[in-house]
């Protein structure tokens, strides 16, 4: 089963949390959530292309 969509959806949720943290002035958490979103989006791309992530 290809889980690329699951990883992409989680990446979008993490990015949403980064925006919320940024708005609250919690820049350290915004950076962390944004970094997590980026990693999950890259993993989603690898899986979508049939590559091992």
For helices 4-23 and 27-48, the axis angle rounded to 10 degrees is 170
Alpha-carbon distance of 11 to 16, in angstroms, equals: 9
User: Which two three-digit tokens encode residue 36?
Assistant: 């997590």
Locate the domains of the chain by residue range.
4-48
Tokens 């990693």 locate to: 39
pLDDT tens, N- to C-terminus, the chain (53 residues): 899 999 999 999 999 999 999 999 999 999 999 999 999 999 999 999 999 87
In this predicted structure, what is the pLDDT of residue 4?
Answer: 97
Burial of residue 5 (CB within 10 Å: 0-12, 13-18, 19+) is exposed
Q: Is the pTM of this model over 0.75?
A: yes
């Amino acid at each position: 089963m290809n889980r690329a969509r699951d990883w992409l959806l989680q990446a979008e949720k993490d990015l949403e949390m980064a925006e919320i943290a940024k708005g609250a002035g919690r820049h350290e958490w915004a950076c962390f959530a944004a970094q997590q979103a980026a990693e999950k989006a890259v993993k989603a791309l690898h899986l979508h292309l049939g590559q091992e992530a």
